[in-house]
Amino acid sequence: MVCDFNENYAENGTCELKGLGRQFIVANLEADVKKPFKNISIHLKMFKFYNQFRPFLVDVEFNVCDAFNKKSALNFYGNTLMRLMMKYTNIRKCPISGHVFIKNFELKVDYFKNIMEDGKYRFNFMFFETAEWLANFTFYGEILTNYRRPKKI
């Protein structure tokens, strides 16, 4: 996982992955917001590795504040991200200020293996306040559905 923060908007930004098993990882991210976010958008892009990472299926953007205020309808990916935000973050309404975190965000292979083929993937989550870049979180992972554990001797 790679995290980048705009230091004009956030400070004390940290991110970490904890492996809780071979196919189960949790992500923790946190930062202190310097200026309240009133119009925050998330841009999600997915890439698949074919000799290099290339765009694959998902390239969506939605406004978080509009979703909280029920001003706009969300597509499947927006609804999924909002449900995950409600479960794993302390973000509940706009404007967003103070200490924000994503805690114990579960990344299980089981979530993806039924809808995605085997391969290496990259997920980019880019956050914007109107047109100003706030942060970028990049997750790398691999799906192996035919993975077999070595036999114990």
- 54 pLDDT band, cuts 50/70/90, is very high
pTM: 0.82
Taking a C-beta distance cutoff of 8 angstroms, is the pair 48, 56 a contact? yes
10 domain residue, yes or no: yes
- Start-end of H helices in the chain: 64-68, 76-88, 109-113
**Domain total for the chain?**
1
8 domain residue, yes or no: yes
Which residues face 18 on adjacent strands? 26
148 domain residue, yes or no: no
152 domain residue, yes or no: no
18 domain residue, yes or no: yes
Q: Summarize pLDDT for 118-140 with one digit per residue, the tens.
A: 899 999 999 999 889 999 999 88
Q: What is the CATH number of the domain that holds 83?
A: 2.70.220
97 domain residue, yes or no: yes
Average pLDDT, the chain: 85
* Segments forming the whole domain that contains residue 7: 2-143
Assigned token pair, 148? 């077999």
94 domain residue, yes or no: yes
Q: Summarize pLDDT for 70-108 with one digit per residue, the tens.
A: 777 777 778 878 888 888 999 888 899 999 999 998 876
6 domain residue, yes or no: yes
